Chain A
Amino acid sequence: MQLSGKWKILGWLAALIVLLILPLFLGKYSIFLLSLLAIYALVSLGLNLLMGYTGQIAAGHAGFLAIGAYVTAIVTANFEWLPCPVTLLLAGAISGLIGFLLGIPILRLKGFYIAMATLAFGVVISEIILQWSSLTGGDNGFSVPTAKIGGFEFDSDFKLFYLIIPVTIIMTLLAKNLVRGYIGRAFIALRESEIAAQTIGVDLAKYKTIAFAISAFYTGVAGGLFAYLITFLSPDAFTIELSIDFIAMIVIGGMGSILGSIIGAVILTGIQQVFAGLLDLQVLIFGLSLIIFMIFMPRGIVGMLTDLKEKFN
């Protein structure tokens, strides 16, 4: 059933072209939504590297998203001449560094204690944003300046689409390479058994902190794109619920799967958007659909697809 290499490349090219010309046929809201989906897919990808591949439960990724978003907003406001890809890299780097630093004390923890520590991290970040109002604007929020490269301004959702989608594609490809390489295999070894991984020579401390740093880097870059797209930041945006949403995305899509991260982000954000019009019933239906997903697809959508494929074979 393998497709030949040529056809595979052609198929991906076709998908890429469809994606890139899509905005010409869509309304502004749909373009905005696609960009938001891509940003969440990026976060979900970063989280999956940490949770799905390395097996560390992280419940505070809204915190990294916030760091990326605020770094981008503050840097863009103060250094307008800086091209936005540099700003995004900086946002990712700072978030990654904080992820690395957070990873060090967390080395001593296991399982749900890691979840507790990361949860607390998310809360602390949103409290810092609130209290450090001279820098972040606190409760009043922060109006994000337009992203720029030289004289070109990404001043509409249409233009931003062409910033957000390429970044997402590039980072997805990088993630794909990463998990297939030595680092990815080390991550998976850690997830399956820390003792076994150590006996085959995987440095536990090194790879756990690397996983935290990479995951935070992805989320930080996503945060930067988030800031440019939403154009206004306030601490209310980065709540515990958002962190939980991210976990739900990878659980629905499929733990330890790049495609699963993207599918999960699309489905969860899609469900939220479709149900937003149901008002009071939204939370109930959202919860019920999550339970149904868990009962019928315990390994996520990608897990279910793999099972189906094996059945047919």
Chain B
Amino acid sequence: MLKLRYVSTFGLIVMVALCFAANDVNAEVGVTGDSILVGCSNSFSGPLVYPGTQLVNNGLESYIGYINAQGGVNGRKILTQYYDDGYKPQNAVANTKRLVEQDKVFAILSSQGTGAVGATVKYLTQNKVPLLFPFWGEPSPGQKYIFNSFTRYPNQSELVVTWLVKVKGFKRIGILYQDDQYGYGFRDPGEKMLKKLGLKWAAAESYKRGAKDLSAQVAKLRKANLDACLLVATPPPGATFLKEAHKQGWKDTRIISSGPLTDEKYINLSGGVGEGVWGLSLWPDPVNSQDPAVVEYRKIVDQYGKDKDKTPNRYSLFGYFYAKLFVEGLNRAGKNFTRESYIAALEGIKDWENGMIPPVSFSATDHLSQNSGFMVEVQQSVFRPISGWITLKEGTLVPLKQ
């Protein structure tokens, strides 16, 4: 028995050693004469499996497949490598280290989830590996190796509140928020903005994550006689709120859904009672928009998408769009580039017209690709625009072109 234990322990150590023997180095990490390797850790299982698979399989993969079919960028094909983290930060760290150390990727492209992305930031920054356009709502600005994607939650809140007061003339605005950092990310900046405009939350109610019954909150908010009520929730309680409001016959207040709720899946969840809800959309309608860039997106996803479910949605649109922006950077970086010169090339992007969101500009101090949105209303279960693209510049609403 003792010998057996000794042999199996020794064997185990040797086995592990053999499995993970290290490989050597390249001239520029992840780049060869005919290929560029990028990748990410993402959710292919767990709570964010739908966003994850759509973002990667139909988003990143379809645009990269399309570019490769045309011969790649400067004669180089784009190769990809993904690992599943199931939305667990420790797995995201392990996967990201594997991508960087073992697979030797050039950059991490569009990983997902606040905790999962957050866990990898320190490591990537220390090792000077670019983290390009991750899908998270709380980006930390001012980091050289990180380029961020969509409008931050605090900015979304300020934008919506300002629009409601300045454009719609609303005075009595309330909020229902999830009682955690995500909820505070909307509540506190919204409150500051209201204060600047000489107002405050006319009513503020919260619920605990995972709550199933929101009847008390709905009743209180209804009593407050509001012009508008912001709804900062995740899809299931968001849908519960709408159903409860419908049940209690609450009709005289406009409900405004928060950023991540402005999504087709959520509208379906509410079972048809979402009519008339407003929201801030960060993307053109992936299903119905006739903008040429969106039409092209649907065509390319249909042809090159790797997931069985090819219904257009905001996650595959996200992946598609940021793969496109990644390729734009490659085009600008030229034939011979390094991680540093690639970052410089991205920082050189000014007013990049893309037909989907307002022109993208980066600089050495600004690594955020979008800080805007437009207001939509649910009409016959579809988000219809009720404003043009807007952004905030020093507290003032500014219209933008697409």
Contacts and interface: CB of A to CB of B under 8 A. Distances in A.
Interface of A: 1-3, 8, 11-12, 14-15, 18-19, 22, 25-30, 32-34, 36-37, 127, 130-131, 133, 137-141, 143, 157, 226, 230-237, 239, 241-242, 259, 262-263, 266, 270, 272-273, 275-280, 282-283, 305-306, 309
Given A8-B6, A141-B118, A36 B45 contact: no
Contacts of A130: 180, 209
A167 B144 CA distance: 37
A11 B4 CA distance: 12
Contacts of B19: 270
A11 B6 contact: yes
Contact of B2 (A2, A143, A231, A282): A2
Interface in B1-58: 1-6, 8-10, 12-14, 16-17, 19-23, 44-46, 53, 56
A32 B83 CA distance: 16
B179 interface: yes
Give chain B's interface residue range (CB within 8 Å of chain A). 35 or more
A19 B10 CA distance: 9
B22 A232 contact: no
Contact of A29 (B4, B20, B45, B90): B20
B4 A33 contact: no
A279 B89 contact: no
A283 B181 contact: no
Contacts of B330: none
Could you tell me the dominant secondary structure of chain B's interface residues? helix
A253 B177 CA distance: 45
Contact of A234 (B14, B85, B89): B89
A275 B45 CA distance: 12
Contact of A22 (B1, B13, B179): B13
Nearest to A30: B20
Nearest to A65: B90
Contact of A280 (B53, B89, B122, B179): B53
Contacts of B13: 15, 18-19, 22
A29 B44 contact: no
Contacts of A237: 88-90, 115, 119
Interface string B90-102: 1101110110111
Contacts of B209: 127, 130
A15 B4 contact: no
A277 B56 CA distance: 13
B138 A140 contact: yes
Contact of A27 (B101, B118, B181): B101
A306 B5 CA distance: 10
Closest 5 CB pairs of A and B: A27-B22, A30-B20, A234-B115, A29-B101, A139-B181
B20 A236 contact: no
Contacts of A12: 6
Contacts of B97: 28-29, 32, 157
B181 A266 contact: no
B82 to A, nearest CB: 6
B94 A273 contact: yes
8 contacts: A143-B122, A157-B97, A226-B90, A232-B118, A236-B87, A259-B8, A263-B12, A272-B91
Interface string B241-282: 000000000000000000000000000000000000000000
A279 B118 contact: no
Contacts of B88: 236-237, 239, 241-242
Given A131-B179, A140-B138, A305-B4, A27 B20 contact: yes
Nearest to B184: A133
Contacts of B182: 139
Interface in B112-135: 113-116, 118-123
B90 A3 contact: no
Interface of B: 1-6, 8-10, 12-14, 16-17, 19-23, 44-46, 53, 56, 81-91, 93-95, 97-98, 100-102, 113-116, 118-123, 138, 179-182, 208-209
Contacts of A242: 88
A106 to B, nearest CB: 25
A139 B180 contact: yes
A22 to B, nearest CB: 6
Given A19-B13, A26-B21, A140 B181 contact: yes
Given A26-B22, A27-B101, A140-B118, 19 more contacts: A8-B2, A22-B17, A25-B21, A26-B17, A32-B97, A36-B94, A139-B115, A139-B180, A141-B114, A230-B89, A230-B90, A232-B121, A234-B114, A235-B115, A236-B87, A259-B8, A259-B9, A279-B82, A280-B53
Nearest to B43: A279
Contacts of B115: 139, 141, 232, 234-237
Contacts of A263: 8, 12
A18 B14 CA distance: 8
A121 B47 CA distance: 21
A266 B6 CA distance: 16
A110 B118 CA distance: 41
B9 A33 contact: no
A266 B97 CA distance: 18
Q: Which one of B8, B53, B81 has the highest number of Cβ atoms from chain A below 10 Å of its Cβ?
A: B8
Contact of B20 (A33, A137, A233, A309): A33
Contacts of A273: 94, 98
B84 A282 contact: yes
A34 B16 CA distance: 8
A189 to B, nearest CB: 22
A305 B123 CA distance: 40
Q: Which one of B1, B94, B182 has the highest number of Cβ atoms from chain A below 10 Å of its Cβ?
A: B94
